[in-house]
Amino acid sequence: MTDIDVLLEEHRKFKPPETFARNANVRSAEIYERAAKDYEGFWAECARELEWSKPFTKVLEWAPPRSKWFADGELNASVSCVDRHARGERANKAAIIWEGEPGDTRTLTYAELLDEVCRFASVLDSLGVEKGDRVSIYLPMIPEAAIAMLACARVGAVHSVVFGGFSAESLRDRIVDAGAKVLITADGGFRRGQVVPLKKNADDAVAQTPTIEHVVVVRRTEKPIGGTEASMKAGRDKWWHELMAKASPTRAPTAVNAEDILFTLYTSGTTGKPKGIVHTTGGYLTQCAVTTRMIFDLKESDVYWCTADVGWVTGHSYIVYGPLANGATCMMYEGAPDWPEKDRFWALCEKYGVTIFYTAPTAIRAFMKWGAQHAEKHDLSKLRLLGSVGEPINPEAWMWYRENIGGNRCPIVDTWWQTETGATMISPLPGITETTPGSATVAFPGITAELLDDNAKPIKVGGGLLAITKPWPGMLRTIWGDDERYVKTYFSKWPGRPDLYFPGDGAKRDEDGNFWILGRVDDVLNVAGHRIGTMEVESALVDHHAVAEAAVVGKAHDLKGQAIAAFVTLREGINATPELLAELRDHVGTKIGAIAKPDDIIFSADLPKTRSGKIMRRLLRDIAEGRALGDTTTLADPAVVAALKDQYESIEG
């Protein structure tokens, strides 16, 4: 049985503010019908917004589960993202406004960005990188990350960015899997006032990677912690600034086929070997560009800030490719949100006049926990649109975001998508969609999302499995080196239906047709025959004024099948008491029903999260069921789960 119970009711609704709607990039809901009627035509029209050196004549070739988009067209992603702006009226417009954690700043106009991208493309030539070769990038959040990615695109090489917070072993595994020829790294990066020893990790990794021929090192920290002159290995390692000084500032873009690979990116994956998700050029860039323009309502004068790291797909699609394809001005920030103080993000918004702000629920819940006083210190009146991505956003977090950051005036776009989908799939269009806290609302024009049961029967209203029923331009094309796993993981959920994509999420749909993502299907609770999504119980907890964040898991129970264990983080200044515990349990009962009352509630200062900020419920399940902890290598902070385990065991006694 795959139906999921629907417990949480949320009826607050927000229409787009009138002036926003009047000036929005998309003003008429007619776009949905138009896209539905001729969806290939719709996507072709979007693709024509890019610059093609050879225009495509074919739109879609679909041999489930394999798609090709614009397959006889040729283009170069760096041309659409940089050259065409640098050539025209945006030449002196800021493309990237960057601030380092210590407070140093740098601005690159489109003309300057083109110069840098061409130079680094020339550097890649000089290192023997050819079309189709893989280049690994292991950098902090500095402009060189975007420059390196775009330079790879320019020469037709495949970039494989590895998040700078990953260890030497994780880096090694990803380099080996990709078979990369060149690694681009830095001496270090700044995080919470500390130096992350990137070059040292890179050295440890490269000692065990047979394919790396050269390591290019950006001088960022100048701290003697790896990355010193002494650590530069003769013949293999080269300083970025020395290569760039000699490199040619002109380098013609290599035309690639629309279906040539632009990049691979490894999904963190909570278990198993990381999957190298493969994205190609034409379709991916098309969907990035149009979703950025329509969902963020991007205008010429906007200062747009996506707080993700370029090491995640959000950074690829919504720091680099989507915004630059639109000629936007993008903020980029190197460090932590609470360094040196918990108001750093708001200080940056004020200083640079940020108008569009896109972040993750995990960050929003941290802001809630720290309190609104940090945002109140700053003038956030230039903000006009807020976005959320990465996890379901609990309705109370959504309301907090709207009130305290958005001043009750900014529309919120809750965007559902995945590394695999390349770009946003379900989201409001801020000028036309009525939003409701906690719902990502409806599929983007040209995207077909449905709720299905186990037999692929559509569920119109209620809870079930989310499916994408038609191909889309930004979809992954395969898993690097593992075609079979691609088919098995994403296109085998419904036997005999290789045309149906299964993202692995459960969802519900309400009477208005809005989608609510309920969490990963693997995390769904089964209490006395009721299948309950983690998001609903967690949202009921976060609905209580004392709670900033919650994670619930099922633990084996003799009678009920599963009982619910909840791990709860309180807002700052609130004490954990037995009375509060009882109150929270009752609150869940009143809010969504007695069936969902947690048997155990554990207060915790932090929750175990992946390095991209997602709650790792699998580990909480291990704790709740008294098992030895499974694989903890993808945890951001292993100390959190060790402490929780001790605490849980002392309660269980």
Radius of gyration in angstroms for the set of CA atoms belonging to the chain, rounded to a whole number: 24
State the pairing for strand pair 158-161/134-138. Answer: parallel
* Cα dist from 355 to 90, 97, 286, 428, 555, whole Å: 19, 13, 24, 18, 44
Q: By CB under 6 A, what part of segment 512-541 binds ligand WT7?
A: 517, 520
Complex with ligand WT7: residue 190 or 312, whichever CB lies closer: 312
Q: By CB under 6 A, what part of segment 376-435 binds ligand WT7?
A: 389-392, 414-419
Complex with ligand WT7: residue 42 or 417, whichever CB lies closer: 417
Binding mask 487-506 for ligand WT7 (x = CB under 6 A): ----------------xxx-
Closest CA to 567 of 489, 453, 648: 648
Query: What's the per-residue H, E or C state across 77-110?
Result: HHHHHHHHHHCCCCCCCEEEEEECCCCCEEEEEH
Minimal distance, residue 147 CB to ligand WT7, in Å: 23
With CB under 6 A as the contact rule, the residue among 122, 170, 314, 569 that binds ligand WT7 is 314
Tell me if 135 sits within 8 A of 182, measured CB to CB.
yes
How many Cβ atoms sit within 10 Å of the Cβ of residue 41?
A: 13
Q: By CB under 6 A, what part of segment 608-627 binds ligand WT7?
A: 612
Complex with ligand WT7: residue 126 or 267, whichever CB lies closer: 267
Minimal distance, residue 290 CB to ligand WT7, in Å: 17
* Cα dist from 7 to 48, 440, 462, 527, 595, whole Å: 44, 17, 10, 13, 10
Minimal distance, residue 472 CB to ligand WT7, in Å: 14
Helix 39-47 vs helix 30-37: angle between axes, to the nearest 10 degrees? 110
Complex with ligand WT7: residue 359 or 419, whichever CB lies closer: 419
State the pairing for strand pair 530-532/189-191. Answer: unpaired
How many Cβ atoms sit within 10 Å of the Cβ of residue 373?
A: 11
With CB under 6 A as the contact rule, the residue among 440, 564, 566, 624 that binds ligand WT7 is 440
Backbone angles phi, psi at 98, to 5 degrees: -115, 140
How many helices (H) does the chain have, and how many strands (E)?
22, 31
Complex with ligand WT7: residue 109 or 489, whichever CB lies closer: 489
Minimal distance, residue 517 CB to ligand WT7, in Å: 4
DSSP-based three-state secondary structure for 204: helix
Minimal distance, residue 391 CB to ligand WT7, in Å: 5
Closest CA to 593 of 99, 16, 9: 9
Complex with ligand WT7: residue 197 or 337, whichever CB lies closer: 337
User: How many residues form the binding site for ligand WT7 (CB under 6 A)?
Assistant: 21
Complex with ligand WT7: residue 56 or 515, whichever CB lies closer: 515
DSSP 259-309: TSEEEEEEE--SSSSPEEEEEESHHHHHHHHHHHHHHTT--TT-EEEE-S-
Q: By CB under 6 A, what part of segment 208-267 binds ligand WT7?
A: 267
In whole angstroms, what is the distance from residue 385 CA to residue 31 CA?
21
Minimal distance, residue 530 CB to ligand WT7, in Å: 21
Closest CA to 365 of 548, 606, 579: 548
Torsion of CA 170, 173, 177, 179, to 10 degrees: 100
In whole angstroms, what is the distance from residue 283 CA to residue 40 CA?
12
Minimal distance, residue 52 CB to ligand WT7, in Å: 27
Complex with ligand WT7: residue 40 or 482, whichever CB lies closer: 482
Complex with ligand WT7: residue 7 or 389, whichever CB lies closer: 389
With CB under 6 A as the contact rule, the residue among 135, 196, 313, 553 that binds ligand WT7 is 313
Complex with ligand WT7: residue 226 or 390, whichever CB lies closer: 390
Minimal distance, residue 317 CB to ligand WT7, in Å: 8
Minimal distance, residue 348 CB to ligand WT7, in Å: 21
**Tokens encoding 293:** 């323009």
Q: Does 475 bind ligand WT7 (CB under 6 A)?
A: no
Binding mask 256-285 for ligand WT7 (x = CB under 6 A): -----------x------------------
Complex with ligand WT7: residue 110 or 516, whichever CB lies closer: 516
Minimal distance, residue 180 CB to ligand WT7, in Å: 21
Minimal distance, residue 366 CB to ligand WT7, in Å: 17
List residues near ligand WT7 by CB under 6 A. Answer: 267, 312-314, 389-392, 414-419, 440, 503-505, 517, 520, 612
